[in-house]
Amino acid sequence: MSTIERSSRQSPQLRPPKATLSARKRFSEENVAKVLFVVPAAVFLLLFFGYPVVKNITMSMQEYTTRTFFTGEAPWVGFQNYVAVFGSNLFVPALANTALFTIGSIAGQFVIGLALASFFRRRFPLSNFLRSMLLLPWLLPLIVGSATWRSILDQDSGILNRFLEALGLIQEPIPWLTSPAVALTAVIIVNIWVGIPFNVTILYGGLQDIPEELYEAAALDGATGWKAFRHITWPSLRPVVSVVLVLGVVYTIKVLDIILGLTNGGPANATQTLAVRSYQKSFIDFDFGVGAAYSNILIVISLLFALIYLRANRRAVDE
Amino acid sequence: MNNKRRVTVILAMAAIAPLTFTACAGGGAAPASGGDVKSLTVLDSYNNDPDKGILQASIDKCAAKVGVTIERTTVPGKDRMQTVLQRSSSKTLPDVLMLDNPEVKDVAATGALSPLSDYKVDMSAFAGNSLDAVTQDGQVYGLPLPADTLGLFYNADVLAAAGITPPKTWDELKAAAAKLTTGDQYGLAFSAAATYEGAWQFLPFMWTNGGDETKLDSPEVKGALQLYVDLVQSGSASKSVINWNQADVKDQFVAGKAAMMINGPWQIPALAKVPGVKWNTVQIPVNKPGQTPTAPLGGMVWTVPRTGDKAKQAKAAEFVACTGTEDSQMALGKARNTVPTQNGLHQKYVSEVPTMAAFTKQVEDARSRTGKLGKDWPKAATTIYTAVQLALTGGASVDEAFSKAAAG
């Protein structure tokens, strides 16, 4: 604070004898201003990103339970919480489910999203209206969406099974949420539905940026349809695609509300993911230390993808 | 950048900077203790009507009696423990706190609650089973509100049409459920969800059969699980039971998709809204003659947190003691279809609310979930619902389900 006061007091005097002012001093004044510009952002980052991350790391090495909240005591246990996580019989299934869930969701969202975005590139009556309707899953609170899906996917009376039966596609109702073999697929399907708007929006924006002339020139050379997509659309869209995929991974890996709303990790732990484990350990079992260990593992995985993205991006810039 | 502009910028920065810091400097001084207590803060989780209004009336009555005004805050039940933890750590616990009975021991063990004996609150009229859940190291930490439990609801018209009397044993239950399963209608609905709700619904069968949460791989516990498996595999109960919570179960019953259901008296207001469904209740069926239907004791508890303000704590205890009087318990019990937790009141209660006869008997014989295991109960509950899910989905045989679930 004192620096600010001094500089604001002194600054008005600086003006008339400009020539006599030492270069060094002016330099430092400028530096103060520079630093001050950075301060709000730095304080924000430290407060809302630095502190939680550090707290999460220390918490994962403490026995942090209901007791801690009243007494403030959280005994240091070193890596014991991580041992508990890796030693749990649910860790490997949860890790595998997280991978399947993320890969399945991203693949579905991206392919459908790209197809829809390409489709909406053509102008046709009501195309703008329909495109905005696509955003609907995004606007709906996830907990409402998953409650609705839960009734849609009900084995006996759900509309999806009734519909498929009426079409003659299935004879027996599919146990969407009640069979451990199917539940993860059902959860992925719902998450694809949730993720499509995001993919369409970003990819559509990317498609809009591709100049029309490229297609016209290519058409003259005989490249239309699939060829145009392969040689013009796809290469031009690459930077956007990498953003969509990396953000998609980071968003999907931590999905919690949809799974809690649909299956709560069941049936028989078939839809347990690392995020669900972290939530249940922290907020159901109130074993915050172990919960923090799970979420740190998630953070490391997300960080890996972010690094891959940054590297890929740098290479693209270098090229 | 010319100098004038720079000065403006620096001034602007200087103006903003203090704002960043004042945000952290908030928070008031601790409330002065002692003196005349005029108001108390209350935190509870009856956040929706009709319960919210019913409890308000009960609170108002006792507030008037002890001469305080009440500042009430409600949070949704699922956020209750998180709120309690947050307010513990920020030392802003309310003067009177409502907890669910299985939470009391855990919270008391942290030192956040004061024992009611400190204030000479007379607990002698309360039933032993209702005190099990609130007693930690020989000290009583909470005063139970009227309690609830589980029973068997049946659709009277449907059973009468099929010529079936309400089942009293497991064999009768299986036979009745099989016979009542026709078309869209299942014989029985219950919740076997992967949550504490699923565990809570399994307890009546487990305890009635002589099973115990301290020994989950006993034949008695497996017998109860076998009943679940039989009901689902024969098709008398839907495979979806593993994904239903108790509200879903009630919806199935109301929609005519289940002729009987395991549920609690808190569903009665919802059932009353559907006059077409004529229902009645009986106690949980037993496996063998001579067994006592034993269901878990549910219900909320008033506690007095240690806030550091002795005068307010004493006043809070006075308020809590008032909620334990006959007037208060009967009024709340009648309005919410919950059973007063003092055995002396049961006869009077049943004569005034005859629909609660079966539940009143069920509450008398009910057991508290944390009576034996205390803070280790959640772990046992997780093992129970996981084992149920494993057995019902074919992930493990009835024999292996509990050991496999416990290993998780």
Locate tokens 């329909």: which residue?
Answer: A130
Does the structure show a pLDDT above 70 at B21?
A: no
The phi and psi torsions of B401 (rounded to 5 degrees) equal -55, -45
Q: Is residue B379 part of a domain?
A: yes
What residue numbers bound the domain in which B72 lies? Answer: 39-147+298-364
User: Is the domain of B54 the same as that of B90?
Assistant: yes
CB count in 10 Å sphere of residue B187: 27
ipTM: 0.82
Strand, helix or coil at A163?
A: helix
Contact between chains at A286 and B107 (C-beta distance less than 8 A) = no
More confident of the two residues B8 and A111 = A111
Q: Cα–Cα distance between A296 and A82 in angstroms, integer? A: 10
Cβ atoms A142, A225 nearer than 8 A? no
Same domain, B290 and B187: yes
Asked whether residue B75 is domain-assigned, the answer is: yes
Confidence band for B31, pLDDT divided at 50, 70 and 90: very low
Distance CA B100, CA B104 (A): 7
Q: What is the rounded distance in angstroms from the CA atom of residue A9 to the CA atom of residue A293?
A: 51
B337 in a domain, yes or no? yes
Domain residue limits, chain A:
80-318
Compute the nearest-CA separation of B391 from chain A (Å).
9
Summarize pLDDT for B351-394 with one digit per residue, the tens.
999 999 999 999 999 999 999 998 889 999 999 999 999 999 99
Please give the Cα distance from B324 to A266 (Å, whole number). 40
DSSP B264-293: -GGGHHHHHT-TTS-EEEEPPPBSSTTPPP
Same domain, B261 and B392: yes
Closest residue on chain A to B2 (Cα): A15
User: How big is chain B, counted in residues?
Assistant: 408
Reading the block at residue B169, the tokens are: 């044993």
Judge if B238 and B173 occupy the same domain: yes
Mean pLDDT of B258-279: 94
- CB pairs A-B closer than 8 Å: 126
DSSP B375: G
Half-sphere exposure of B170 (CA within 13 A, CB side): 22
CB B341 within 8 A of CB B130: yes
Residue with tokens 């996830």: A142
Quick check: is B43 in a domain? Answer: yes
Neighbours of A230 (CB within 10 A): 11
Residue among A246, A94, A251, A111 at smallest CA distance from A184: A94
* Gap from B11 CA to chain A (nearest CA, Å): 6
pLDDT digits (tens, 9 = 90+) for B173-199: 999 999 999 998 999 999 999 999 999
C-alpha count within 13 angstroms, C-beta hemisphere, residue B22: 5
Based on the fold, state whether residues B271 and B389 are members of the same structural domain. Answer: yes
Q: With an 8 Å Cβ cutoff, are B7 and A154 in contact?
A: no
Whether domain A80-318 has CATH 3.40.50.720: no
Q: How far apart are CA B322 and CA B314, in angstroms?
A: 13
In a domain, residue B347? The reply is: yes
B interface test, pick of A13, A28, A70, A73 with most B CB neighbours within 10 Å: A70
- On whether both B279 and B158 belong to a single domain, the answer is yes
Domain count within chain B: 2
Span B272-310, pLDDT tens digits: 999 999 999 999 999 999 999 999 999 999 999 999 999
What CATH number should be reported for the domain holding residue B303? 3.40.190.10
Top pLDDT among B65 and B7 is at: B65
Listed residue (A248, A280, A251) closest to A94, CA to CA: A280
Q: For B214-245, how does the pLDDT look when each residue is reduced to its tens digit (9 = 90+)?
A: 999 999 999 999 999 999 999 999 999 999 99
The one-letter amino acid at B84: V
Q: What are the pLDDT digits (tens) for B319-330?
A: 999 999 999 999
Residue B24 in domain = no
The better pLDDT of the pair B138, A127 is held by B138
Instruction: Supply φ then ψ for residue B193, to 5 degrees.
Output: -65, 160
